[in-house]
Amino acid sequence: MALDIFLDPNYPNFKEHGDPVCSTTDPEIFFPDKGNKDTSHYATNAARRMCAGCPYKAPCLAWAVEHAEIGIWGGTTAKERRSHRRHLKSKST
Ligand code: SF4
């Protein structure tokens, strides 16, 4: 993650409602090892559960869709967000 994202005025304010759950959790679960299907599946589901109750879910997801982030953001995988972007692009053409 490039540090200059913190200078972007559109970067979500992840302090507005207290610290997000992911800030106090092992960050590895938000970046599952694609080479290990078992741990990747477990980590993805654990991350999704944390995101489900997060007050930053909407802005987090919007940022990740717009900036093609990797890992779990807003309860979605990078693959799901790519699919969403393709869908949006197809609707706009
Ligand atoms: S929605 Fe975003 S900020 Fe909230 S726990 Fe998930 S990854 Fe972290």
Q: pLDDT by residue (tens digit) across 2-56?
A: 567 777 888 899 989 999 989 999 999 999 988 888 889 999 999 999 999 999 9
pLDDT at residue 7, rounded to an integer: 76
What interhelical angle do 57-67 and 37-52 show, nearest 10? 130
Helix (H, G, I), strand (E, B) or coil at 22: helix
pLDDT classification of 92: cutoffs 50, 70, 90: confident
User: How far, in Å, from the CA of 76 to the mean position of ligand 1?
Assistant: 10
Between the CA of 2 and the centroid of ligand 1 the distance, in Å, is: 18
Residue 17 in tokens: 């409602």
Q: Return the residue whose CA atom lies nearest to atom 5 of ligand 1.
A: 51
Contact 63, 69 (CB under 8 A): yes
Q: What is the pLDDT of residue 3?
A: 63
Answer whether 42's CB lies under 8 Å from 83's CB: no
Residues 6+ apart with CB under 8 A from 80: none
pLDDT for position 2: 58
Mutate to test the pocket of ligand 1, among 25, 49, 73 (most ligand atoms within 8 A of CB): 73
Give me ligand 1 centre to Cα 30, in Å.
9
